Amino acid sequence: MRNQGSVLVVEDDEALRAALCDTIQYGGYRAVSACNGAEALQRLESESVDMVISDVQMDVMDGHTLLRNVKSRRPDLPFVLVTAHGSIAKAVEAMREGATDYLLKPFEAEVLLEMVSRLNPGGQVDSAGMVAEDPAMVGICELARRVAATSATVLISGESGTGKEIVARFIHQHSARSEQAFIAINCAAIPEPMLESMLFGYEKGAYTGAYQSRAGKFEQAAGGTLLLDEISEMDLGLQAKLLRVLQEKEVERLGGNKLIPLDVRVLATTNRNLREEVAAGRFREDLYYRLNVFPVHIPALRDRPRDILPLARVLLKRHTPDREITFSAEAEQRLLAYRWQGNVRELENCVHRAAIMAAGNRIAAADVYFEDAIAPAADQCAAAPDQQDRLLDGGLRDREKQLIVNALEKVEGSRKDAASLLGISPRTLRYKLARLKEQGVPIPAAG
């Protein structure tokens, strides 16, 4: 249930714009694009955006003009200008006019991701706290509250989608460091060389594209909390470097020779059994014991059924902030009867789909679609089209068609975002769209 930030990329070069968006999405953020400043202003009117990255030289409206327009409307919105070497003076002048930072062309992907991560779009701590009504989760809350009052390192384990990051944020909120930064980094989503530079920082000239020094996550979290999300995915070589930083409480930036003292509380999450990873030689035993000072295990959603409906109601409110909408009793019974193998993340997808499908202010049982009702099994994918059709009766097939079309309209035609919203793979969505086109169904075009 991470609050994923949205980044608006404004670039008139189509290939470069696509590359920037791909890099931003690779880092776990949502990318929105525009080909010039005028289109960017239109995007800002219709989209919720947490950050803008804009080229300077563009037709119709250039980056400087766009900056002035954006700052007059949303002065607190982070704005980064992308400029060539010869325009550094203008970029510095733009920062005086309100730009948050600038990037010099050409730059490496890790430089872009480091800047996006540092400005942390959409990364605010959720002040609402955890939803915990099931006794199993109430006990976890009490454990988290107690350990929050200490400086102990906490290892949070549990299946994917159980809400491990929510627990980490809860610990930070209830700690003496709550007024300081909470910085999270996903160790599974970032390649090792990039992860090392993002964790420890780098000095100017440390590698190609490092045109200025940058503080790493450890420095950015000074006085606060650093969450190492999915720590079990970290490469063994980087584990050794991390262990030294944790033991010595100091960090050295890449390309530097100065040791920087640290005052950071470290939390880590994993969806694997780290004891088994240690036994298999995939995780360092000394790092395991350094992290596992206070273990907290989050039970699967199916093992805390009394949390299902409270969570569903909170998630529904999150996805329909401008609507007064509730679940019918029959819809709630469908939610309670399901196994939720994907845990809270799967529940969120299901609630979002139901909100899209609901015609009025009440979600009926027929609006609640589970992932296995949308995604065909492997043998079904290989079945002939007429066999596929027989898998669904007419009413359900029509509802599925409407669900897919509604999802595409919701995300302005983005196939990748629609697949994520529907809880199916992009491959399955492509198959279904091909079938709908064969049937003459109008498919929303990609924006």
pLDDT at 122: 56
Domain co-membership, 287 together with 347:
no
Q: Is the CB of residue 80 less than 8 Å from the CB of residue 54?
A: yes
Domain co-membership, 232 together with 258:
yes
Task: Determine, yes or no, domain membership for 374.
Answer: yes
| Domain boundaries, position 33 | 6-119
pLDDT at 433: 87
Q: pLDDT tens digits for 321-361?
A: 888 899 999 999 999 999 999 999 999 989 988 998 888 89
Task: Determine, yes or no, domain membership for 124.
Answer: no
Q: Is the CB of residue 37 less than 8 Å from the CB of residue 8?
A: no
Residue 365: give its domain's CATH number: 1.10.8.60
Q: pLDDT tens digits for 301-313?
A: 999 999 999 999 9
At residue 381 the predicted structure's pLDDT band, cuts being 50, 70 and 90, is: very low
Domain co-membership, 213 together with 228:
yes
Q: Exposed/middle/buried for 97, CB within 10 Å: 0-12, 13-18, 19+?
A: exposed
Task: Look at the chain and report how many structural domains it folds into.
Answer: 3
CA atoms within 13 A on the CB side of 124: 6
* Residue 6 phi, psi (nearest 5): -115, 135
Domain co-membership, 62 together with 208:
no
> Domain boundary at 257, 280, 299, which?
299
CA atoms within 13 A on the CB side of 21: 20
In whole angstroms, what is the distance from residue 310 CA to residue 312 CA? 5
Please state, rounded to an integer, the average pLDDT across all residues of the chain: 84
Residue 84: give its domain's CATH number: 3.40.50.2300
Domain co-membership, 102 together with 213:
no
> Domain boundary at 267, 299, 331, which?
299
Q: pLDDT tens digits for 22-60?
A: 888 877 788 889 999 999 998 888 777 889 999 888 888
Least confident of 201-205, 243-247, 271-275: 201-205
pLDDT at 91: 60
Amino acid at 327: F
Residue 226: give its domain's CATH number: 3.40.50.300
Domain co-membership, 339 together with 374:
yes
Domain co-membership, 313 together with 295:
no
Domain co-membership, 269 together with 366:
no
Tell whether pTM > 0.75: no
Task: Determine, yes or no, domain membership for 126.
Answer: no
Q: Is the CB of residue 17 less than 8 Å from the CB of residue 35?
A: yes
Residue with tokens 């498919």: 443
In whole angstroms, what is the distance from residue 437 CA to residue 444 CA? 11
